[in-house]
Structure 1
């Protein structure tokens, strides 16, 4: 059949996350074939402080699981429902954590956002700078109109990060998360949100990773 008269759909290149740079950081896609990325992911999701505030439905306990999780993230990138980024220092390449947009709904242009950093990167503004970068990217162009991070009640560091990035505390969601290490009990969560029409927050100078 002549290509000019074919009714076959045109090939659509797979979605690829671009690098996002700013505030002393570089955000890029996780590479499930990279040993360093797999080790960072495993460290992050097995860290006691992460596990204190998060109870994943499928806990990561070894390198195989740490490799499969970014692969699932890549599939979400491909179908347009997620954008998981590895956080690294712009000059060092060191990977101190993760920030990502997930559950992207084209209607009504709403998505969730989450973040974590390794112990050695905490207290240096890494999560704040990464969240600000990813929010700016998400709100640039035809992306989500509303981004929503949530966290277990009592997680002060996550709450402060959201607030510094312009995500307003909108209320408490009762029984929205699993209790620490349990799947038969629930705890409350704080909901934050920011709209594309909200003013860009002022970011104070912070230490670099």
Structure 2
């Protein structure tokens, strides 16, 4: 049964090329995950705040390496795209300290949509890492790949994520009641979105 509308982003737009590194600022780079990053993933998912909002933990570096391999495979399958947010060590080599993670999940290339998600390690919080990473990723998704809509959702109790959304031009569209089960029960979730052509703000 043929579709009446062609895919907004043609199949292979991501998978046919290597996942790029994305510059956010002079002191911030988004680069593909490497298996050597496993200790940083374990540290992140041992943090109570990250566990609270992401509902997972990594019990070993082997488990974390398995996640990283899944993140790498997601690019090739065009189902998601995951980056480590790092402080570059040298002239663009991107091998420096891991500060956080940012990703496009729930990719629907044919519909031009994806969901933005992120976390920041405790030592890097309060330095604008998340807003700068979100802004860099959105620029790439809209300008280089051609996405039309990016969504960002978070628990209504997660005020920090709400501030990131506001700083980066993701408009609040509504509240999904009892939308996600956390360890302390059901949470209402704020739904934010940014369209190609919207004000970037941050």
Scaled by the length of structure 1, the TM-score of the pair is 0.81
Aligned to 1:55: 55
- Counterpart CA distance in 1 for 2:151 and 2:189 is 12
Query: 1:127, 1:161 within 8 Å by CA — same for their partners in 2?
Result: yes
1:141-152 matches, within 5 Å, as 141-152=144-155
> Structure 2: any 5+ residue segments left out of the alignment?
1-14, 91-95
- 1:43 aligned residue: 43
SS in 2 for 1:21: strand
> CA, structure 1 residues 142+86, in 2 after alignment: closer, same or farther (shift >3 Å)?
closer
Counterpart of 1:84?
Answer: 82
Q: Which residue in the other structure is 2:98 paired with?
A: 95
Instruction: Find the residue that maps to 2:146 and give its secondary structure.
Output: coil
- Are the aligned partners of 1:83 and 1:100 in contact in 2 as well (CA < 8 Å)? yes
Distance 1:78 1:190 in 2: 30
* Aligned-pair CA distance for 1:145: 0.8
Structure 1 runs (4+) deviating above 6 angstroms are: none
Corresponding residue number in structure 1 for 2:68: 70
CA distance in 1, matches of 2:147, 2:60: 34
Work out which of the residue numbers 128, 133, 142 in structure 1 matches 2:136: 133
Instruction: Give distance in 2, aligned partners of 1:142 and 1:19.
Output: 14
Q: Secondary structure at the match of 2:43?
A: helix
Q: Which residue of 2 aligns with 1:117?
A: 120
SS at match of 1:141: helix
- Pick from 26, 29, 39 the counterpart of residue 32 of structure 2: 29
Distance 1:45 1:135 in 2: 25
Match of 1:5 in 2: none
Q: Distance in 2 between matches of 1:77 and 1:45?
A: 22
Which TM-score applies when normalising by structure 2? 0.84
CA distance in 2, matches of 1:31, 1:118: 17
How far apart are 1:150 and its partner, in Å?
Answer: 0.7
In structure 2, what is the equivalent of residue 195 of structure 1? 195
Is residue 155 of structure 1 aligned with residue 158 of structure 2? yes
Superposed CA deviations along residues 120-172 of structure 1, whole A, max 9, x for unmatched, are: 10011011111110111111134321111111111011110111000011111
Deviation at 1:80, TM superposition (A): 1.6
SS of the aligned residue for 2:101 comes to strand
Number of paired residues? Answer: 182
> Where does the alignment leave 5 or more consecutive residues of structure 1 unmatched?
1-12, 204-209
TM superposition shift of 1:199: 2.2
Structure 1: how far apart are the matches of 2:79 and 2:48? 29
Name the Cα RMSD after superposition: 1.7
Aligned counterpart, 2:3: none
State the 1:61 CA deviation.
Answer: 2.0
Computing the radius of gyration from Cα coordinates, the structure with the larger value is: 1
- Shift, 1:119, TM fit: 0.4
